[in-house]
Chain A
Amino acid sequence: MSDDLAFFHDRFGLDERMLTTALDTTLERKVDHADLFFEYTTQDSVVLEESIVKSGDRHLEQGVGVRAQTGQRQGYAHSDDVTVESLQLAATTARTISESNGDVRNVAVAPAARPRHDLYPVATAPTDVPVERKIELLGAIDTHARGLDPRVKQVMASLISQHRHVLIAASDGSLVADIQPLVRLNVQVVAESGESREIGYQGMGGRCDLDEVMAAGAWHPLVAEAVRIATLNLEAVPCPAGCMDVVLGPGWPGVLLHEAIGHGLEGDFNRKKTSAFTDRIGQRVAAEGVTVVDDGTLPGRRGSLNVDDEGTSTQRTLLIEDGILRGYLQDRLNARLMGMTATGNGRRESYAHLPMPRMTNTFMLAGQDDPEEIVRSVDRGLYAVSFDGGQVDITSGKFVFSANEAYRIENGRIGAPVKGATLIGNGPDVLTRVKRIGNDLALDRGVGSCGKDGQSVPVGVGLPTLRIDELTVGGTER
């Protein structure tokens, strides 16, 4: 019994023989690839509101997904029952996607080398940290937030801990296991002044020990930020509407790359030729100096993985190099169909979902410019520092994202804060209007979640301060 299998053997009696039998069952039909994905995830959370931790919860999610691929077809069956019978039933269901018989063979499932990476070793599983400590933290956050400003009327805080075991066995005989911790702390405050009320939100986390977010040195600045944004928005004026030059701050505004570029470079959309970036490899899609990568190998980051959900090692993938489109994000299916290499981007929300090409941590490399000088270079425009999230139509290329902290720029100076700025643009050409790139690359604090085809996966983004000319800003003022 390999170490990789031991965890699942203890829980479900899973052994090499069961894996081989299930894979052989799928291979009785002619398939290009088949795999089994086992998952056992524990998640707990505590939530505070009105200064009380009113409830705690704990969830156990387990199951297996069996997949067979032939050409571009995929058959998938999943069950939350991990038994010999359910595995066989799932394997029989998955293979119906193929109509012709295959060669019966005996897949020798062999434990692969450990994943190449070890990006998130933790001393204690976050779900094993006593709930009393988690409750205590939320109480401290509530007290701290209320002490920072008398206008803070409501504090909501939550701490979510997750520990996910996965095991992937494939028809090429590979067997890979990974253990993936994930933690996230969210703080939302409502500030009130006279008749007006505003919300400030901040969060942080990653694949790390819970102690990293529980240390006062980590959460004090987070709470201060949430309070600062809520009270700042109390002073905010309506946002201007129209086309203008925009400066994006470092870090979380990297969501621009995620929406405008990242999704459009996912292999499935390009294989199907439904992306606005279809057949554009080697062409200029951004200004000189713009280099964008997707990197699943950053230690401890929310978007990082030792292996993707198909067992492929993650890597750093060059998407745009000095303005030229260089690569796509691939899972096994689309890499095979396009004659490319899988890039470790085959991800799924859980055993109940089919893998798809997805981003990990997507960011732009730093440039040369001084961030303050970039702001000074704009005559009249918008300085957007923090965002709520965005959305893209990958076919037309149009994307939007919404700022929750933004300011007017007047004569090169940061002016009044504005509320509710929405930015809209066209993915394939927005980066061609990048005029300045800051020397201050920063990654987000570890709160990103990406939705695609009904599946949500944790991701990261990053950006240096960036000036983009002529973006449409959706506000209410002329």
Chain B
Amino acid sequence: MSGDAGAEAIERALEQTLRAGADAADALLVESDSLEARVRGEEIDFVKQARGHTLGIRALVRGESGLRSALTSTSDLRGDVVDRMAQETVQLARATEEDPFAGLPEEDYARDDVDLALFDPADRDVSVETRIAAARAAETAARATDPRIENSEGSQVSSGFSQVWLGDSRGFRGSYRSATHSLFSEPIARENGSMQRDYWMTTSRSLAGTDAPADVGRKAARRALRRLGGRRVATCQAPVIFDPVTAPSLLGHLAGCANGYSVYRQTSFLADRMGEQIASEALTVVDDGRKPGGLGSRPFDGEGQPTRRTTLIEGGRLASWLLDSYSARKLGSATTGNAARSAGGAPSAAPSNLWVEPGERSLEEIIASTERGLLVTELIGHGFQPVTGDYSRGAVGLWIEGGEIAYPVEEITIAGNLGQMLLDIDAVGSDLLWLGRLAAPSLRVAQMTIAGE
């Protein structure tokens, strides 16, 4: 689809929705094409290519005390289908109930002419063969690392390109392009009849920004190898270090609890704590939608608002929620430009690029200063309850004795309460690592309950 065709589809959707009786409307069109391939051992496992687009229309209809709203989406962009959908959206909106807080944002809109390095035109013509070669290089390197690596779930590459158009009845029009390229390798180590898998990955907005495939494969292999011989430990209380792979999950739980929707719904343990010291002084958490090349970067959010830098936690003090315009109105605040939106969904609040500011110490130094404890390298299960902060998840990692890695551990759980865990963070690493939209350096929680034998 040409840029003009995308813009025209937005105009048509808005015009038809207003004509059908909406008092306000917005429309979002996302076009994407993607390439994925996996190599396992010597063989190609699959190659997958796709092209698609989805148009979402939101209609708002004024009632006596608020707006009624509805949302529809379709991947059929034929003119008559869009026209009919616009009418259906308005009819559906009329059936819903009035909400005094509903509406388009009231603040000034973003300009979309900022260059955030989200797309490298040089990557546009990347061939299937080139990408398969990268997967093959990672797979070969992983298998060559050690004779105990004799199997794998494969090494997978993906390259995705997309363009977004957003428009609304207050006059906003914006569009931007972005790309994501990633490589993921998952080897299996085998010894004495037992198997262990692990993975490593690289993701970037440009192919030039991704790590060398062979390095990804070797690192994945070393991670799988160090898990061999994993055992349980006796149930105890001990310090727990989350590495840069697992620490972002804590940030994810925290972001969920600082989300404006959880706050006004009172489903977050942080709901009444704004301005309070909720974490260790060592913890500062920042969201920035304009980090150059960031996997969560974009010039404007899902409501056309400028993205920006927001400090959520400053030296342990809760300083801001993550907000879109609706949750901001509910909380008597202003949007933080964090409206997330897919073509098929209504705006909601979500982090853009969210990270924990790194500290001074390396992971090695933090381990050396831990007499006895656990380094967590993978978490499984969903044991986190946002309303109370109660936390209990399955863990895999390395046991620390006398400040040194002693042996791998598995089939254990770690439990605590996120509220207390945040206060108990007594070491923040210098090893911030970006594997996605959320990033954190190694974090040590002074004490948690470890359940095992």
**Distance (whole angstroms) from the CB of B160 to the closest CB of chain A:** 12
Minimal beta-carbon separation of B120 from chain A (angstroms): 24
Chain A residues, CB < 8 A from B88? 58
Partner-contacting stretch, out of B356-364, B376-384, B427-435: B376-384
- List residues of A (21-50) whose CB comes within 8 Å of B's CBs: 46, 49
* A241→B235 contact, CB < 8 A: yes
Chain B residue with the shortest CB-CB distance to A278 = B195
A71 touches B188 (CB 8 A): no
CB of B181 within 8 Å of the partner chain = no
For residue B393, which residues in chain A have a CB less than 8 angstroms away from its CB?
A: 400, 422, 474
Check A272/B449 contact, CB under 8 A, given A59-B72, A97-B47, A396-B197.
no
In the bound complex, residues from chain A placing their C-beta under 8 Å from that of B40 are: 272
Closest CB-CB distance, A65 to chain B, in whole Å?
Answer: 9
A190 contacts B by Cβ under 8 Å: yes
Query: Which residues 55-111 of B sit at the A interface, judged by CB distance below 8 A?
Result: 69-76, 85, 88-89, 92-93, 95-99, 102
User: What sequence of 0s and 1s flags, for each residue 433-461 of chain A, a beta carbon within 8 Å of any chain B beta carbon?
Assistant: 00000000000000000000000000000
Which residues from chain A contact B415 at a C-beta distance below 8 Å? 239, 241, 420, 422, 474-476
Given contacts A77-B50, A199-B385, contact A53 B96 (CB under 8 A): yes
Give the contact stretch, choosing among A101-109, A170-178, A387-395.
Answer: A387-395
Other-chain contact of B390, A46, A74, A272, A419 (Cβ < 8 Å)? A419
- Chain A residues lying within 8 Å of B381, measured Cβ to Cβ, are 390-391, 400-402, 422, 424
Contact, CB under 8 Å: B385 / A56? no
Known A80-B75, A156-B265, A424-B413: A132·B47 in contact at CB below 8 Å: no
Cβ–Cβ contact A154 & B266, under 8 A: yes
CA gap between A387 and B99 in the complex, in Å: 34
Chain B residues whose CB sits within 8 angstroms of the CB of A395 once the complex forms: 153, 188, 195-197
Say yes or no: A391-B380 contact (C-beta < 8 A), given A72-B43, A93-B49, A97-B47: yes
Cα A476 to Cα B389 in complex, Å, equals 13
Cβ–Cβ < 8 Å partners of A57 in chain B: 70-73, 92, 344-346
Q: Does A193 contact B (CB under 8 A)?
A: no
* Residue B388, interface by CB 8 Å: yes
Nearest Cβ on chain B to A142's Cβ, whole angstroms: 11
A113 interfacial contact with B, CB 8 Å: no
B128/A190 in contact, CB under 8 A: no
Q: Is B232 engaged at the interface, CB distance under 8 Å to the other chain? A: yes
Q: Is A129 an interface residue (CB 8 A)?
A: no
Name the contact of B48 in the complex, choosing from A77, A135, A391, A419 (C-beta under 8 A): A77
Contact B346 A55 (CB under 8 A): yes
User: From residue 45 to 102 of chain A, which have CB atoms closer than 8 A to chain B?
Assistant: 46, 49, 52-63, 71-81, 93, 96-97
**Nearest CB in chain A: distance from B425 CB, A:** 18
Nearest CB in chain A: distance from B237 CB, A: 9
Question: Does A426 interact with chain B (Cβ within 8 Å)?
Answer: yes
Are A56 and B70 neighbours in the complex by a CB distance under 8 Å?
Answer: yes
Q: How far is the CA of A354 from the CA of B46 in the complex (A)?
A: 9
Q: Check A292 for interface membership: any CB of B closer than 8 A.
A: no
**Contact count band on B:** 35 or more
Q: With an 8 A cutoff between CB atoms, is A425 at the interface?
A: yes
* B401 → A minimal CB distance (Å): 21
**Do A73 and B265 touch across chains, with their CB atoms under 8 A apart?**
no
B54: chain A residues at CB < 8 Å are: 80
Chain A residues with Cβ below 8 Å from B344 are: 57, 59
CA distance A424 to B409 in the complex (A): 13
CB pair A474 B392 closer than 8 Å: yes
A62 with B392: CB separation less than 8 A:
no
Q: Does B452 sit within 8 A of A, measured CB to CB?
A: yes
Contact B53 A426 (CB under 8 A): no
Tell whether A243 is near chain B: CB-to-CB under 8 Å: yes
Contacting residue for A199 out of B89, B230, B267, B391, CB 8 A: B267
Mark out the residues of chain B between 271 and 324 whose CB falls within 8 Å of any chain A CB in the assembled complex.
Answer: none
B52 CB within 8 Å of chain A? yes
- Distance between Cα atoms of A53 and B69 in the complex (Å): 10
| Pick from B98, B383, B417: contact of A402, CB under 8 Å | B383
User: Within residues 238 to 292 of chain B, which ones have a CB less than 8 A from any CB in chain A?
Assistant: 265-267
Would A198 and B388 be within 8 Å (CB), given that A472-B451, A476-B449 are in contact?
yes
Complex: chain B residue closest to A421, CB-CB: B392
Most chain B CB atoms below 10 A, which of A190, A192, A197, A389: A197
Question: 1/0 per residue B308-349: CB within 8 Å of A?
Answer: 000000000000000000000000000000000000111000
Contact yes or no, B69 A396, CB < 8 A:
no
Report the nearest A residue to B81, measured CB to CB. Answer: A60
Q: Is B95 a contact partner of A73 (Cβ separation < 8 A)?
A: no
With A58-B72, A199-B267 known to touch, is A352 a contact of B52 (CB < 8 Å)?
Answer: yes
Bound Cα distance A472, B390 (Å): 18
Render B390-414 as a binary contact track against A, CB cut-off 8 A, 1 for contact: 1111101000000000000011111
| Alpha-carbon gap, A97 to B188, bound state (A) | 26
**0 or 1 for each of B201-235: is its CB under 8 Å from A? (1 = yes):** 00000000000000000000000000100101001
Contact B394 A77 (CB under 8 A): no
Residue from the set A192, A239, A419, A422 with the largest chain B CB neighbour count within 10 Å: A422
**CA of A224 to CA of B453 in the docked complex: distance in angstroms?**
38
Contact A393:B197 (CB < 8 A) given known A52-B99, A80-B52: yes
Measured CA separation A61–B43 after assembly (Å)? 33
In the bound complex, residues from chain B placing their C-beta under 8 Å from that of A389 are 382
Is A152 part of the contact surface with B, judged by Cβ < 8 Å? no
Provide the residues of chain B in CB contact with A399, threshold 8 Å: 380, 394
Say whether A197 contacts B416, CB under 8 Å: no
A472 close to B96 (CB less than 8 A): no
Q: Which of A80, A131, A388 contacts B382 (CB 8 A)?
A: A388
The residues of A that contact B48 with a CB separation of less than 8 Å are: 75-78, 354
B97–A54 contact, CB under 8 A?
Answer: yes
Shortest CB-to-CB span from A280 to chain B, Å, is: 12
Which residues of A have CB within 8 Å of B267? 154, 190, 197, 199
CB-CB under 8 A from B92, the residues of chain A are 56-58, 131
The answer, yes or no, to whether B44 is at the interface (CB within 8 Å) is yes
**Of B97, B387, B451, the contact of A198 (CB 8 Å cutoff):** B387
Contact check: which of B44, B188, B412 meets A274 at CB < 8 Å?
A: B188
Chain B hits for A54, CB < 8 A: 69, 96-97, 99, 102
Query: Beyond A60-B76, A80-B51, A425-B411: 12 further Cβ-contacts under 8 Å?
Result: A54-B69, A75-B46, A75-B48, A93-B49, A96-B47, A401-B381, A420-B383, A422-B415, A424-B411, A472-B412, A473-B413, A477-B449
By a beta-carbon cutoff of 8 Å, the part of chain B in contact with chain A is: 40, 43-54, 69-76, 85, 88-89, 92-93, 95-99, 102, 128, 151-153, 188, 194-197, 227, 230, 232, 235, 265-267, 344-346, 380-383, 385, 387-388, 390-394, 396, 410-417, 449-453
Name 5 A/B residue pairs within 8 A (Cβ), A-sorted: A197-B388, A354-B46, A388-B383, A400-B380, A420-B383
